[in-house]
Amino acid sequence: MSPVTHRFGWYLAVLQLLFTLCWTVYAIYLPQLATAAGLAPGAVVILLLLDQVVFTVCDFATGIVADRTSRALIRIGPWLVAITVVSCAAFLVLPYVAAAGAPLLIAVTAIWTITTSALRAPPMMMLGKHAARPAIPYLTSLALLGYGLAGAASPYLAATLRQADPRLPFALASLVLVLAASGLIRAERRLASQPNTDTPSTAPAPVRTVGPTRPPTLWFALAMIALALGYQIHFSLESAPLYRRFAAADQLVWLMPVFWIGFNVTMFPASVLTRKFGGYVVIGVSSLIGAAAIAVAHGATTLTMLVVAQCASGAAWGAILMSAFAIALSATGKNGEGREGRMSGLLYATLALATLARIGAVASGVAADPHLVGALQGLPVLCWALAGLTLLYVAASSLMRRASATAAP
């Protein structure tokens, strides 16, 4: 692994951290902004739903564009920085335009949501394009560390910022993010100037590094939707009620990050397993372990037992997400061309789609329906178990096909 790609992995961690924190700040203050704009309380949920719809479409689209731009040998760093400036400018003025009324608030929010997709799949595509394939699982762990740290910090931000003036957090978040994103131009230039021996095309690793180099897109997408949906239901909807069985509400700010502690700690050792056994195997096994951990969380009889189960489920999600991105960043097309952007965009789109489903379940009242509580509690276990078995089957089928091809005369 070259020092350049190693530093870029850390750089992506910072970008992921700042981007996710911006979204957290937005979600915290959106009800307050909507009230200032004269919107009804129910409009907040509609705005959040529309945000996820935009992310689902734009993440996949920007990933495809990034691949095509890369194949045309056009550097995307300057474009990403320009789009980020627009995104941060829109984010910065959100607290100010709210007083001007709902139409302007909605328009600026739409601009921010669309442009923020540029900071998701395309930078990850740059990592997959320039990093040697054996290094991708570890570098993916670095990049996702920012996402995990932001998840752990979110409860503290929500408790600290909810009553504060939104203008300062929006301004600070915008300024720091645009300053960090401005480094993409230099980072891309340094990545492109690396010796060719550090690129996947000239230093190929065994296919088993992360699984099939041409992953079955449909099965991969369906499995990740199921896994992301299970994560959304378990963590976002069920974790707080599970903790409230043993702890007071004011203790949640200390307990909710337990999931993310497991997430952050496990990604790096899981990256070693992904490199050795393949991403599909690691996702499959981690999904089954996570399903068992979620089941234990629901059956926990003490707070200690619940904390251990939550940490284990977070660890499983960390291994799952890291391996999924490692698969995406190693993907190639039929002609050997890179599909890193397309697959990364697809993965981000599945995460947004699962978030959309979770918000929809809350908005529709399904999540609170007493007749559906039992089914909702069992859904994460079912989603993770089925997805895990499916991807283990994909891995086994790929291994058998490879063995048959090797044995053929």
**Encoding tokens for residue 24?**
């957290």
Q: How many CB atoms lie within 10 A of CB 364?
A: 11
What does the mean pLDDT of the chain come to?
87
pLDDT digits (tens, 9 = 90+) for 129-162: 888 888 899 999 999 999 999 999 988 888 888 7
Q: Nearest-CA neighbor of 289 among 268, 266, 264, 271? A: 266
pLDDT value at 240 more than 80: yes
Helix, strand, or coil here: 6? helix
pLDDT: which is higher, 216 or 263: 263
Opening angle at CA 245, ends 239 and 249, nearest 5: 75
The helix (H) or strand (E) run that includes residue 345 is helix 340-364
Interatomic CA distance for residues 156 and 141, integer angstroms: 24
What pLDDT shows up at residue 406?
Answer: 67
Burial class (CB within 10 angstroms; exposed 0-12, middle 13-18, buried 19+) of 1: middle
Question: If you average pLDDT over residues 324-339, what whole number do you get?
Answer: 78
Question: If you average pLDDT over residues 340-368, what whole number do you get?
Answer: 89
* Residue 257, phi then psi, degrees to nearest 5: -70, -10
What pLDDT shows up at residue 208?
Answer: 43
Q: What is the set of domains in the chain, with CATH numbers?
A: 3-407 (1.20.1250.20)
What pLDDT shows up at residue 288?
Answer: 97
Overall residue count recorded for the chain in this entry? 409
Confidence of residue 195 (pLDDT cuts 50, 70, 90): low
pLDDT value at 205 more than 60: no
Confidence of residue 389 (pLDDT cuts 50, 70, 90): very high
Question: If you average pLDDT over residues 377-388, what whole number do you get?
Answer: 94
Q: Nearest-CA neighbor of 173 among 122, 112, 117? A: 112
Question: If you average pLDDT over residues 11-23, what whole number do you get?
Answer: 90
What pLDDT shows up at residue 408?
Answer: 58
